[in-house]
Structure 1
Amino acid sequence: MTRKIMHELGIVFHVIKRLENLAAEQKLQQIQSVTLELGEVSGVVPEFLEDGWKWAVKKSPIMENAALKIETLPAVSICNACGKTYGTVENGKTCPHCKSEDTVLQTGNEMNIKEIEAC
């Protein structure tokens, strides 16, 4: 469990560092909120990310009150055999249309900074 929390905390530190650099470049005074997009199968646990965020933003003057918003991106795979897409979480690696296992994850593994509210 601790290792997983440490994984999310490392992500939080990375995001905060990128935002601090952006704030310096853009001469921003304060970041009020950040919206992250998390893929459904990204391996990131939103609750752990939120806990790490609450602790870490207090250490950054420009972000000390910044809210974290998380949007989940669905995991979608495409079947190389029939060309159709399907929900990966519900079906795994097997295409529900033709039963082929020749499939590739298209979306759902990413983590993006989608939006920043700042002044």
Structure 2
Amino acid sequence: MHELGVVFHIIDDLKSVVDENKIEKIDKVTVELGEVSTVIPHFLTDCWKWASDKQDFIKGTELLIETIPAITQCEDCGKQYGTIAHGRICPFCQSERTYLVQGNEFMIKEIEVSDDEN
């Protein structure tokens, strides 16, 4: 399960943001996760719950996952289609000369902090 390693990378990135901006607590983190990335959302969520409880600046922080659909482009006919539904072979012209346009991403999209000053 490499999701724990992914969570540690997220935490490292968040720690940098916290340090650079003198933030004490992050309330919510939104990540974008490609449909065909190798990260499994429910494993990521479970790992996040475990790891975030061990860091004061993200303890209880909500992790939201937005899915980016996997889209493939055909080099022969130029059309795009859903990768999950059709795989590598173009459903329009049956070509195997295709490539993934999107859907393999994994990135932090948004970090929310409260406006409360203690």
Taking structure 2 as the reference length, what is the TM-score of the superposition? 0.94
Find 2:40's aligned residue among 18, 42, 45: 45
Gaps (5+ residues) in structure 2? none
For residues 2-21 of structure 1, the aligned pairs below 5 Å read: 4=1, 7-21=2-16
Matching of residue 86 in structure 1 with residue 81 in structure 2: yes
How far 1:78 sits from its partner (Å)?
0.4
Count of residues in Structure 1 that have an aligned counterpart in Structure 2: 114
What residue ranges of structure 1 are gaps of 5+ in the alignment?
none
The CA deviation at 1:65 is 1.5
TM-score computed with the length of structure 1 as normaliser = 0.93
User: Would you identify which runs of 4 or more consecutive aligned residues in structure 1 move more than 2 Å?
Assistant: none
Q: In structure 2, the residue corresponding to 1:38 is in which secondary structure?
A: strand
Percent identity reads 52
50, 61, 65: which one aligns with 2:60: 65
Cα RMSD for the two superposed structures: 0.7
Aligned counterpart, 2:103: 108
CA shift, 1:43, in A, is 1.2
